[in-house]
Structure 1
Protein backbone atom coordinates (compact mmCIF):
# COMPACT_ATOMS: atom_id res chain seq x y z
CA UNK A 1 0.00 0.00 0.00
CA UNK A 2 1.41 3.43 -0.98
CA UNK A 3 2.03 6.41 1.24
CA UNK A 4 -0.08 9.30 -0.12
CA UNK A 5 0.55 13.01 0.18
CA UNK A 6 -2.43 13.15 2.55
CA UNK A 7 -0.78 10.50 4.77
CA UNK A 8 2.46 12.46 4.71
CA UNK A 9 0.63 15.68 5.63
CA UNK A 10 -1.14 13.95 8.54
CA UNK A 11 2.16 12.52 9.77
CA UNK A 12 3.76 15.95 9.58
CA UNK A 13 0.90 17.42 11.61
CA UNK A 14 1.35 14.73 14.29
CA UNK A 15 5.08 15.51 14.48
CA UNK A 16 4.41 19.24 14.81
CA UNK A 17 1.70 18.63 17.43
CA UNK A 18 4.12 16.50 19.46
CA UNK A 19 6.93 19.05 19.19
CA UNK A 20 4.60 21.97 20.03
CA UNK A 21 3.30 20.12 23.10
CA UNK A 22 6.89 19.48 24.20
CA UNK A 23 7.80 23.16 23.71
CA UNK A 24 4.73 24.34 25.64
CA UNK A 25 5.38 22.04 28.56
CA UNK A 26 9.19 21.94 28.74
CA UNK A 27 10.71 24.57 26.45
CA UNK A 28 12.62 24.69 23.20
CA UNK A 29 15.63 22.72 24.36
CA UNK A 30 13.51 19.76 25.39
CA UNK A 31 12.50 18.94 21.82
CA UNK A 32 14.29 15.98 20.29
CA UNK A 33 13.78 14.47 16.88
CA UNK A 34 13.54 10.95 18.35
CA UNK A 35 10.90 11.91 20.94
CA UNK A 36 8.82 13.91 18.47
CA UNK A 37 8.85 11.08 15.96
CA UNK A 38 8.02 8.49 18.61
CA UNK A 39 5.15 10.64 19.94
CA UNK A 40 3.84 10.90 16.38
CA UNK A 41 4.03 7.11 15.99
CA UNK A 42 6.79 7.28 13.39
CA UNK A 43 10.37 6.09 13.13
CA UNK A 44 13.24 8.51 13.57
CA UNK A 45 14.48 7.65 10.08
CA UNK A 46 11.37 9.20 8.50
CA UNK A 47 12.13 12.64 9.97
CA UNK A 48 13.93 14.08 6.95
CA UNK A 49 11.02 13.23 4.70
CA UNK A 50 9.13 15.93 6.62
CA UNK A 51 11.70 18.55 7.70
CA UNK A 52 15.05 19.82 6.47
CA UNK A 53 16.44 20.01 10.01
CA UNK A 54 15.61 19.89 13.72
CA UNK A 55 15.71 23.70 13.73
CA UNK A 56 13.10 23.85 10.95
CA UNK A 57 10.79 21.53 12.90
CA UNK A 58 11.27 23.54 16.09
CA UNK A 59 10.58 26.82 14.28
CA UNK A 60 7.30 25.47 12.89
CA UNK A 61 6.34 23.96 16.23
CA UNK A 62 7.18 27.25 18.00
CA UNK A 63 5.01 29.07 15.49
CA UNK A 64 2.19 26.65 16.31
CA UNK A 65 2.64 27.40 20.04
CA UNK A 66 2.60 31.12 19.26
CA UNK A 67 -0.49 30.82 17.06
CA UNK A 68 -2.34 29.05 19.86
CA UNK A 69 -1.66 31.89 22.30
CA UNK A 70 -2.20 34.50 19.60
CA UNK A 71 -5.66 33.12 18.92
CA UNK A 72 -6.75 34.30 22.38
CA UNK A 73 -5.54 37.84 21.70
CA UNK A 74 -7.04 37.88 18.19
CA UNK A 75 -10.38 36.65 19.55
CA UNK A 76 -10.28 39.41 22.15
CA UNK A 77 -9.81 42.01 19.39
CA UNK A 78 -12.71 40.54 17.39
CA UNK A 79 -15.01 40.57 20.42
CA UNK A 80 -14.02 43.99 21.79
CA UNK A 81 -13.47 45.69 18.39
CA UNK A 82 -11.50 48.55 20.01
CA UNK A 83 -10.21 47.34 23.37
CA UNK A 84 -8.45 49.64 25.78
CA UNK A 85 -4.81 49.10 26.66
CA UNK A 86 -5.88 48.08 30.17
CA UNK A 87 -8.15 45.36 28.75
CA UNK A 88 -5.34 44.07 26.53
CA UNK A 89 -2.83 44.11 29.37
CA UNK A 90 -5.27 42.19 31.58
CA UNK A 91 -5.30 39.30 29.10
CA UNK A 92 -1.54 38.83 29.60
CA UNK A 93 -1.34 39.68 33.29
CA UNK A 94 -4.24 37.44 34.27
CA UNK A 95 -3.12 35.01 37.04
CA UNK A 96 -4.66 32.15 35.04
CA UNK A 97 -2.33 32.99 32.14
CA UNK A 98 0.63 32.89 34.53
CA UNK A 99 -0.31 29.43 35.79
CA UNK A 100 -1.22 27.92 32.42
CA UNK A 101 2.04 27.73 30.47
CA UNK A 102 0.69 25.51 27.72
CA UNK A 103 -2.26 27.67 26.78
CA UNK A 104 -0.87 31.17 26.93
CA UNK A 105 1.29 33.62 25.06
CA UNK A 106 4.13 31.91 23.23
CA UNK A 107 6.30 35.01 23.43
CA UNK A 108 6.11 34.93 27.22
CA UNK A 109 6.80 31.21 27.28
CA UNK A 110 9.79 31.30 24.94
CA UNK A 111 11.42 34.71 25.32
CA UNK A 112 13.81 33.67 28.08
CA UNK A 113 15.29 30.75 26.19
CA UNK A 114 15.04 32.08 22.63
CA UNK A 115 18.47 33.65 22.81
CA UNK A 116 19.84 30.11 22.59
CA UNK A 117 17.64 29.22 19.61
CA UNK A 118 18.58 29.44 15.99
CA UNK A 119 17.61 32.23 13.60
CA UNK A 120 14.46 30.47 12.36
CA UNK A 121 12.96 30.27 15.84
CA UNK A 122 13.98 33.83 16.67
CA UNK A 123 12.35 35.05 13.48
CA UNK A 124 9.08 33.35 14.49
CA UNK A 125 9.18 35.02 17.90
CA UNK A 126 10.02 38.42 16.39
CA UNK A 127 7.11 38.14 13.97
CA UNK A 128 4.63 37.44 16.74
CA UNK A 129 6.12 40.19 18.92
CA UNK A 130 5.68 42.70 16.07
CA UNK A 131 2.06 41.61 15.55
CA UNK A 132 1.26 42.11 19.24
CA UNK A 133 3.00 45.50 19.25
CA UNK A 134 0.86 46.50 16.28
CA UNK A 135 -2.31 45.44 18.13
CA UNK A 136 -1.39 47.41 21.24
CA UNK A 137 -0.41 50.41 19.09
CA UNK A 138 -3.88 50.32 17.50
CA UNK A 139 -5.41 50.60 20.97
CA UNK A 140 -3.18 53.62 21.57
CA UNK A 141 -4.39 55.32 18.40
CA UNK A 142 -1.71 54.25 15.94
CA UNK A 143 1.35 56.05 14.63
CA UNK A 144 5.07 55.96 15.40
CA UNK A 145 4.77 57.21 18.97
CA UNK A 146 2.07 54.61 19.70
CA UNK A 147 4.26 51.87 18.22
CA UNK A 148 7.19 52.93 20.41
CA UNK A 149 4.95 52.97 23.49
CA UNK A 150 3.39 49.62 22.53
CA UNK A 151 6.87 48.10 22.23
CA UNK A 152 7.67 49.24 25.78
CA UNK A 153 4.33 47.95 27.08
CA UNK A 154 4.72 44.50 25.54
CA UNK A 155 8.32 44.24 26.69
CA UNK A 156 7.24 45.07 30.25
CA UNK A 157 4.43 42.51 30.04
CA UNK A 158 6.71 39.74 28.78
CA UNK A 159 9.22 40.49 31.55
CA UNK A 160 6.49 40.57 34.19
CA UNK A 161 4.98 37.28 33.04
CA UNK A 162 8.42 35.64 32.95
CA UNK A 163 9.27 36.84 36.46
CA UNK A 164 5.82 36.02 37.85
CA UNK A 165 6.28 32.46 36.62
CA UNK A 166 9.83 32.25 37.93
CA UNK A 167 9.51 33.45 41.53
CA UNK A 168 7.44 30.58 42.91
CA UNK A 169 5.62 32.79 45.40
CA UNK A 170 1.93 33.63 44.93
CA UNK A 171 2.36 36.82 46.96
CA UNK A 172 5.34 38.05 44.93
CA UNK A 173 3.63 37.01 41.69
CA UNK A 174 0.65 39.18 42.62
CA UNK A 175 2.93 42.14 43.42
CA UNK A 176 4.73 41.79 40.07
CA UNK A 177 1.48 41.63 38.11
CA UNK A 178 -0.22 44.49 39.97
CA UNK A 179 2.78 46.83 39.77
CA UNK A 180 3.38 46.12 36.09
CA UNK A 181 -0.27 46.69 35.28
CA UNK A 182 -0.26 49.96 37.24
CA UNK A 183 2.83 51.17 35.38
CA UNK A 184 1.83 50.28 31.82
CA UNK A 185 -1.76 51.53 32.20
CA UNK A 186 -0.90 54.78 33.99
CA UNK A 187 -2.21 57.74 31.96
CA UNK A 188 1.22 59.42 31.96
CA UNK A 189 2.81 56.28 30.54
CA UNK A 190 0.11 55.83 27.90
CA UNK A 191 0.31 59.41 26.64
CA UNK A 192 1.95 59.32 23.25
CA UNK A 193 3.75 62.49 22.24
CA UNK A 194 2.87 64.02 18.90
CA UNK A 195 4.44 62.42 15.84
Structure 2
Protein backbone atom coordinates (compact mmCIF):
# COMPACT_ATOMS: atom_id res chain seq x y z
CA UNK A 1 0.00 0.00 0.00
CA UNK A 2 2.79 2.40 0.95
CA UNK A 3 4.59 1.65 -2.32
CA UNK A 4 1.52 2.59 -4.34
CA UNK A 5 1.13 5.90 -2.43
CA UNK A 6 4.80 6.68 -3.05
CA UNK A 7 4.36 5.82 -6.74
CA UNK A 8 1.27 8.04 -6.97
CA UNK A 9 3.11 10.92 -5.28
CA UNK A 10 6.08 10.44 -7.61
CA UNK A 11 3.83 10.46 -10.68
CA UNK A 12 2.06 13.61 -9.49
CA UNK A 13 5.46 15.27 -8.92
CA UNK A 14 6.54 14.37 -12.48
CA UNK A 15 3.38 15.96 -13.89
CA UNK A 16 3.79 19.12 -11.79
CA UNK A 17 7.47 19.43 -12.74
CA UNK A 18 6.68 19.08 -16.44
CA UNK A 19 3.78 21.53 -16.16
CA UNK A 20 5.95 24.10 -14.39
CA UNK A 21 8.62 23.88 -17.09
CA UNK A 22 6.32 23.74 -20.12
CA UNK A 23 3.90 26.43 -18.94
CA UNK A 24 6.81 28.83 -18.46
CA UNK A 25 8.45 27.83 -21.75
CA UNK A 26 5.41 27.63 -24.05
CA UNK A 27 2.66 29.34 -22.07
CA UNK A 28 -0.37 27.80 -20.39
CA UNK A 29 -2.46 28.01 -23.57
CA UNK A 30 0.42 26.68 -25.66
CA UNK A 31 0.82 23.54 -23.55
CA UNK A 32 -1.48 20.60 -24.23
CA UNK A 33 -2.10 17.65 -21.93
CA UNK A 34 -0.69 15.13 -24.45
CA UNK A 35 2.61 16.99 -24.84
CA UNK A 36 2.87 17.58 -21.11
CA UNK A 37 2.32 13.93 -20.28
CA UNK A 38 4.82 12.84 -22.94
CA UNK A 39 7.35 15.25 -21.40
CA UNK A 40 6.71 13.62 -18.00
CA UNK A 41 7.19 10.15 -19.57
CA UNK A 42 3.60 9.17 -18.78
CA UNK A 43 0.49 8.19 -20.70
CA UNK A 44 -2.48 10.54 -21.13
CA UNK A 45 -4.65 8.21 -19.07
CA UNK A 46 -2.54 8.83 -15.98
CA UNK A 47 -3.39 12.53 -16.01
CA UNK A 48 -6.95 12.17 -14.71
CA UNK A 49 -5.83 10.02 -11.79
CA UNK A 50 -4.15 13.15 -10.42
CA UNK A 51 -6.03 16.19 -11.77
CA UNK A 52 -9.69 16.78 -12.59
CA UNK A 53 -8.92 19.04 -15.56
CA UNK A 54 -6.24 21.19 -17.12
CA UNK A 55 -7.55 24.10 -15.03
CA UNK A 56 -7.00 22.01 -11.90
CA UNK A 57 -3.44 21.26 -13.03
CA UNK A 58 -2.77 24.94 -13.77
CA UNK A 59 -3.84 25.97 -10.26
CA UNK A 60 -1.70 23.25 -8.69
CA UNK A 61 1.32 24.00 -10.91
CA UNK A 62 1.16 27.72 -10.11
CA UNK A 63 0.99 26.93 -6.38
CA UNK A 64 3.92 24.53 -6.71
CA UNK A 65 6.07 27.01 -8.65
CA UNK A 66 5.45 29.78 -6.11
CA UNK A 67 6.16 27.40 -3.21
CA UNK A 68 9.50 26.50 -4.82
CA UNK A 69 10.30 30.19 -5.25
CA UNK A 70 9.49 30.84 -1.59
CA UNK A 71 11.85 28.02 -0.59
CA UNK A 72 14.63 29.87 -2.43
CA UNK A 73 13.82 33.04 -0.47
CA UNK A 74 13.65 31.10 2.80
CA UNK A 75 17.18 29.76 2.17
CA UNK A 76 18.72 33.22 1.66
CA UNK A 77 21.04 34.80 4.25
CA UNK A 78 19.30 36.83 6.94
CA UNK A 79 18.59 40.53 6.66
CA UNK A 80 19.61 42.93 3.92
CA UNK A 81 22.28 40.56 2.56
CA UNK A 82 19.55 38.05 1.67
CA UNK A 83 17.39 40.73 0.07
CA UNK A 84 20.29 41.98 -2.05
CA UNK A 85 21.16 38.42 -3.11
CA UNK A 86 17.55 37.83 -4.14
CA UNK A 87 17.35 41.09 -6.11
CA UNK A 88 20.68 40.57 -7.90
CA UNK A 89 19.84 36.96 -8.77
CA UNK A 90 16.32 37.82 -9.89
CA UNK A 91 17.37 40.79 -12.03
CA UNK A 92 20.23 38.97 -13.72
CA UNK A 93 20.75 38.07 -17.36
CA UNK A 94 20.85 34.41 -16.31
CA UNK A 95 17.34 34.61 -14.85
CA UNK A 96 16.06 36.63 -17.79
CA UNK A 97 17.35 33.99 -20.21
CA UNK A 98 15.98 31.06 -18.18
CA UNK A 99 12.26 31.06 -18.93
CA UNK A 100 11.90 27.43 -17.90
CA UNK A 101 13.65 27.66 -14.54
CA UNK A 102 12.70 31.25 -13.78
CA UNK A 103 10.03 33.09 -11.86
CA UNK A 104 6.43 32.01 -12.56
CA UNK A 105 5.23 35.60 -12.17
CA UNK A 106 7.59 36.92 -14.84
CA UNK A 107 6.69 34.07 -17.20
CA UNK A 108 2.95 33.69 -16.67
CA UNK A 109 1.31 36.84 -15.26
CA UNK A 110 -0.54 37.76 -18.43
CA UNK A 111 -2.06 34.28 -18.68
CA UNK A 112 -2.77 33.88 -14.95
CA UNK A 113 -4.84 37.06 -15.15
CA UNK A 114 -7.10 35.29 -17.65
CA UNK A 115 -7.28 31.98 -15.77
CA UNK A 116 -10.06 30.65 -13.58
CA UNK A 117 -10.84 32.19 -10.20
CA UNK A 118 -9.31 29.10 -8.56
CA UNK A 119 -5.97 29.69 -10.30
CA UNK A 120 -6.02 33.40 -9.51
CA UNK A 121 -6.81 32.63 -5.86
CA UNK A 122 -3.95 30.13 -5.80
CA UNK A 123 -1.62 32.70 -7.33
CA UNK A 124 -2.74 35.32 -4.80
CA UNK A 125 -2.05 32.98 -1.88
CA UNK A 126 1.34 31.89 -3.26
CA UNK A 127 2.46 35.43 -4.02
CA UNK A 128 1.31 36.53 -0.57
CA UNK A 129 3.54 33.87 0.99
CA UNK A 130 6.50 35.00 -1.09
CA UNK A 131 5.94 38.67 -0.22
CA UNK A 132 5.57 37.78 3.47
CA UNK A 133 8.87 35.87 3.36
CA UNK A 134 10.65 38.87 1.82
CA UNK A 135 9.02 41.33 4.25
CA UNK A 136 9.98 39.12 7.21
CA UNK A 137 13.58 39.13 6.02
CA UNK A 138 13.56 42.88 5.40
CA UNK A 139 11.81 44.04 8.59
CA UNK A 140 11.74 41.08 10.98
CA UNK A 141 10.40 43.16 13.84
CA UNK A 142 7.36 44.34 11.86
CA UNK A 143 6.92 42.58 8.48
CA UNK A 144 3.53 44.21 7.93
CA UNK A 145 5.21 47.64 7.88
CA UNK A 146 7.14 46.82 4.69
CA UNK A 147 4.63 44.53 2.94
CA UNK A 148 3.22 47.11 0.50
CA UNK A 149 6.69 48.39 -0.42
CA UNK A 150 7.95 44.81 -0.90
CA UNK A 151 4.97 44.04 -3.16
CA UNK A 152 5.68 47.16 -5.22
CA UNK A 153 9.38 46.33 -5.52
CA UNK A 154 8.61 42.75 -6.57
CA UNK A 155 6.09 43.95 -9.17
CA UNK A 156 8.74 46.26 -10.62
CA UNK A 157 11.23 43.39 -10.68
CA UNK A 158 8.86 41.00 -12.47
CA UNK A 159 7.93 43.68 -15.02
CA UNK A 160 11.59 44.46 -15.63
CA UNK A 161 12.28 40.80 -16.42
CA UNK A 162 9.32 40.73 -18.82
CA UNK A 163 10.43 43.86 -20.67
CA UNK A 164 14.07 42.75 -20.74
CA UNK A 165 12.97 39.46 -22.33
CA UNK A 166 11.01 41.34 -24.98
CA UNK A 167 13.78 43.74 -26.03
CA UNK A 168 15.68 42.86 -29.22
CA UNK A 169 18.62 45.05 -28.14
CA UNK A 170 20.69 42.91 -25.74
CA UNK A 171 22.69 45.86 -24.42
CA UNK A 172 19.50 47.78 -23.62
CA UNK A 173 18.00 44.67 -21.98
CA UNK A 174 21.11 44.23 -19.80
CA UNK A 175 21.15 47.93 -18.86
CA UNK A 176 17.47 47.74 -17.88
CA UNK A 177 18.21 44.87 -15.48
CA UNK A 178 21.19 46.66 -13.98
CA UNK A 179 19.19 49.84 -13.32
CA UNK A 180 16.17 47.86 -12.09
CA UNK A 181 18.37 46.05 -9.55
CA UNK A 182 19.72 49.34 -8.19
CA UNK A 183 16.18 50.75 -8.00
CA UNK A 184 14.80 47.63 -6.29
CA UNK A 185 17.54 47.71 -3.66
CA UNK A 186 16.77 51.40 -3.06
CA UNK A 187 13.08 50.55 -2.64
CA UNK A 188 13.84 47.76 -0.18
CA UNK A 189 16.24 49.98 1.78
CA UNK A 190 13.69 52.81 1.92
CA UNK A 191 11.03 50.38 3.15
CA UNK A 192 13.34 49.11 5.87
CA UNK A 193 14.23 52.67 6.94
CA UNK A 194 10.58 53.71 6.99
CA UNK A 195 9.59 50.66 9.05
CA UNK A 196 12.46 51.36 11.45
CA UNK A 197 11.23 54.91 11.98
CA UNK A 198 7.63 53.78 12.45
TM-score after normalising by structure 2: 0.80
Name structure 2 gaps, 5 residues minimum.
none
Q: CA deviation at 1:56?
A: 0.7
Picking from 105, 112, 128, the partner of 1:114 is: 112
RMSD: 2.6
Cα distance in 2 for partners of 1:192, 1:57 equals 41
Alignment-derived partner of residue 169 in structure 2: 169
**Alignment counterpart, residue 87 of structure 1, candidates 82, 85, 99:** 85
What CA deviation, in whole Å up to 9, does each residue of 1:63-121 have, x standing for no partner?
33333333332222xxx122344333212112211111222222222223211222232
How far apart in 2 are the matches of 1:148 and 1:177?
Answer: 22
Aligned to 1:49: 49
* Deviation of 1:189 (Å): 4.0
The aligned counterpart of 2:98 is 100
Residue pair 1:93, 1:157 contacting (<8 A) in 2 also = yes
Contact map agreement 1:112 1:162 (CA 8 A) in 2: no
Which whole-Å CA distance do the structure 1 matches of 2:102 and 2:20 have between them? 13
Native 8 Å contact 2:70 2:129 kept in 1: no
Distance 1:25 1:39 in 2: 13
Matches within 5 A, 1:30-49: 30-49=30-49
